[in-house]
Structure 1
Amino acid sequence: MSASAVFKPSRIDGRRLRSERTKQLIIEAYLALLRERPTTPVPTAAEIAERAGYSVRSVFERFPDLHTLRVAAADYGLAHAAALAPARDVDADRPTRIKSQVETRAGTCERGVALWRALTFNVDEDDALKARLRFARTRTMERLEIMYQPELSTLAETDRRNMLITLEALTDMESWARMREMHGLSFAEACAVWIRAIDRMLPPTPPRA
């Protein structure tokens, strides 16, 4: 086998890695622009390219259109949020679990509300984004079910599902944004609102066996 045949795959892998890195930097530039200007229209290709340090052509070589970039950013954001928000204090007492769940969810909302708004813009026209929004909401409900399993276990199936739906709605992105932006609450004050509301909504915690 010739030396050129041996080294050719590594060169291909290197190009692929550079291309993937470029895609990641373009996605991160898109997300950074969303966070910086949450009330303005989604960034243009030129703005994204400038922030990422690439040409507009480079953007469209990796993403055929801005819709594809938007979907890729959704996947990146969801994966990033999951990595930064593992379930904590699952077996702790009720006050600790509520505080832990609220602070974790609040951190996710604080970091992700700009992306969430970009995803929900004209979402009814986009099946790919609708699927990702459903996934995000389902994952939130699954986390709530894990954190409040002792209390939810005391409810009938329909009541348990209704409680999870209510808790998910209470702690959604726009609920957090309204407290922070419209009502001017600090991070700690907004967390306290959620903590009190959840504590009142949940049924009594059953005694440990």
Structure 2
Amino acid sequence: MIEAGVVKDSMFAPVRIDGRRLRSERTKQLIIEAYLALAREESPVLPTAAKVAERAGYSVRSVFERFPDLHGLQIAAADFAITQVVAMAAPRDVGGDRMTRIRSHVGTRARASERWLPLWRALIANQSGSEELQARTRAMRERVLSLMEHMYAPELSSLSDTARKHTLVALEAIVDVESWARMREHFGLSDDEVSAAWIQAIDRLLPPTPSE
């Protein structure tokens, strides 16, 4: 029979934390962050294991102790980046009026595009031989569509299913990462100018907002 006092004491006993496991997870995270930093700098060329190890401050052996190969590291980095993008793209001002919602959406997409453009280019350029990366690319596009469907629900509610789908696809093309890059790099527009162009295009494309 177990004494009540023993049970009570065991409930409040300090939990032992595996220090080696924590250090290993920390090392894994630093390697992922090093990979992402290099991917931004060298996009669309993928960073080598040697460069990742050097940037992270570890040996190449440490990299492959935590990832089966560079492709495994790329998948882990893509998953981490997607998590960050999703957090940045969380819908805001959903209950606002038409222009408040459009400006909020454009601001979110602009920040995400500016930050993640190089990684997105690396992902697109190297996805052809990887079903995992292709799936993540599709998931990101679906996420953008889902967010817009939520943000612009009042306007889209007046459309048929087909018209709603076509409008969402057109909106996705407007706020695509490469759309941001093209206007910034090729046409030399500032952040504010690109955002203004997006706001104008979205406002013109959306159906009228139903009167309340």
TM over 0.5: yes
Deviations 1:148-203 (A, max 9, x none): 11100010111001111111121111111111111121111111111111011001
Match of 1:204 in 2: 208
Question: What's the % identity of the aligned pairs?
Answer: 60
Write the distance in 1 (CA, Å) between the matches of 2:182 and 2:204: 21
Structure 2 residue runs of 5 or longer lacking an equivalent are 1-14
Structure 1 residue runs of 5 or longer lacking an equivalent are 1-8
Write the distance in 2 (CA, Å) between the matches of 1:133 and 1:76: 13
Q: CA RMSD in A?
A: 1.5
Task: Tell me the TM-score normalised to structure 1 length.
Answer: 0.91
SS of residue paired to 1:89:
coil
Match of 1:10 among 10, 16, 22: 16
Match of 1:117 in 2: 121
Match of 2:137 in 1: 133
Write the distance in 1 (CA, Å) between the matches of 2:186 and 2:70: 30
Match of 2:196 among 189, 192, 195: 192
Match of 1:182 among 170, 179, 186: 186
Write the distance in 2 (CA, Å) between the matches of 1:37 and 1:189: 27
Count how many residue pairs are aligned between Structure 1 and Structure 2. 199
Write the distance in 1 (CA, Å) between the matches of 2:203 and 2:43: 31
Match of 1:59 among 56, 60, 63: 63
1:1-209 aligned at under 5 Å gives the runs: 10=16, 13-38=18-43, 41-208=45-212
Question: Which residue identity does 1:82 align to in structure 2?
Answer: V
Superposition deviation, residue 109 in structure 1: 0.9
Superposed structure 1 runs of 4+ greater than 3 Å apart: none
Task: Tell me the TM-score normalised to structure 2 length.
Answer: 0.90
Give the structure with higher Rg (CA). 2
Deviations 1:99-158 (A, max 9, x none): 000010111111111111111123122100011011100110010011111100010111
